[in-house]
């Protein structure tokens, strides 16, 4: 079985995040760059299965700048077997549509029985990429799993809902997206770190995958980009016997009640 895991390099959420208002892109040099934690949990799900399964192969897949290679090497130390890095200047700032097209082409090239992804990234927070991939690949998609069980022929799991939980199952091949409720990722040991340096890591461009990143038909158009306004002081209500009325009037004015 071959399990492909989508991983992503993102700005560290503990650092400063800035927006480049000229390009409309995140300033990735404003803070440290790390693996998105939700994708690290996806890796953990894959390698945990591979630890106890025969002939299970785990390959990491990312689309990102040259710096993402370092993230891939560190993640390979968790126990994955190989990695695929799609790195192309033409893909800088790619929207979800183009990203899905490129990643789907890479997954077809690599081959897969199961694709595991995080349900939403911490930088773009689009939350649609796994679904778009499943549609392009023509396979089932189990969304936002809080737990996952993998076998040679199927994948299943549970998703939390407002009323309880929903049990899901799909025959392989399939795509699953997982939530932050999945188990924490393991810390690589010294042996894993050393072996990661020698594991195969293939670098591809959009052209290698047969994707024209400069196609004349735009996939989406950015109309304008501005910084979020600075947070201002809120309305202060001093209780002199009429605080309840003032609060009710304020909530009504803001259409919150």
Q: Measure the CA–CA gap between 257 and 237, rounded to whole angstroms.
A: 18
184 lies in some domain: yes
Q: Measure the CA–CA gap between 125 and 121, rounded to whole angstroms.
A: 5
251 lies in some domain: no
110 lies in some domain: yes
Q: Measure the CA–CA gap between 121 and 128, rounded to whole angstroms.
A: 10
235 lies in some domain: no
Residue 119 belongs to domain with CATH number: 3.40.50.620
For the packed helices 129-137 and 96-110, what is the interaxial angle rounded to 10 degrees? 50
69 lies in some domain: yes
174 lies in some domain: yes
Which domain, by its residues, includes 98? 2-209
67 lies in some domain: yes
26 lies in some domain: yes
Instruction: Tell me the HSE value of 89 on the side-chain side, using a 13 A CA sphere.
Output: 0
**pLDDT by 10s per residue, the chain, length 257:** 999 999 999 887 766 667 666 666 666 666 677 888 999 999 999 999 999 888 899 999 999 889 899 999 999 999 999 999 999 988 888 888 899 999 999 999 999 999 999 998 877 777 889 999 999 999 999 999 999 999 999 999 999 888 889 999 999 999 999 999 999 999 888 888 899 999 999 999 999 999 987 765 556 766 777 777 777 777 777 888 888 888 888 888 888 87
The pTM (predicted TM-score) of the whole model is: 0.82
Domain count, the chain: 1
Strands 154-161 and 147-150: antiparallel
């Amino acid at each position: 079985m071959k399990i492909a895991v989508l991983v992503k390099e993102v700005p560290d959420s503990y650092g400063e995040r800035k927006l480049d208002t000229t390009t409309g892109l995140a300033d990735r040099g404003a803070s440290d760059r790390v693996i998105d934690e939700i994708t690290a949990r996806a890796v953990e799900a894959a390698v945990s299965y591979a630890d106890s399964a025969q002939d299970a192969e785990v390959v990491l897949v990312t689309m990102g700048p040259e710096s993402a290679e370092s993230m891939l090497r560190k993640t390979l130390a968790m126990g994955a077997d190989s990695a695929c890095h799609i790195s192309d200047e033409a893909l800088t700032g790619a929207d979800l549509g183009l990203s899905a097209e490129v990643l789907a082409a890479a997954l077809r090239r690599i081959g897969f029985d199961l694709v595991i992804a995080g349900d939403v990234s911490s930088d773009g927070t689009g939350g649609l990429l796994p679904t778009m991939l499943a549609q392009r690949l023509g396979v089932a998609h189990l969304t936002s799993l809080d737990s996952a069980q993998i076998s040679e022929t199927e994948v299943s799991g549970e998703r939390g809902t407002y009323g309880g939980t929903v049990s899901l199952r799909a025959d392989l091949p399939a795509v699953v997206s997982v939530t932050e409720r999945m188990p924490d990722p393991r810390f690589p040991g010294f042996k894993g770190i050393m072996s990661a340096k020698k594991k195969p890591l293939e670098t591809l461009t959009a052209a290698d995958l047969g994707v024209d990143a400069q196609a004349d038909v735009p996939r989406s158009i950015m109309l304008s980009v501005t910084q979020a306004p600075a947070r201002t002081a809120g309305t202060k209500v001093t209780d002199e016997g009429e605080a309840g009325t003032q609060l009710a009037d304020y909530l009504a004015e803001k259409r919150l009640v």
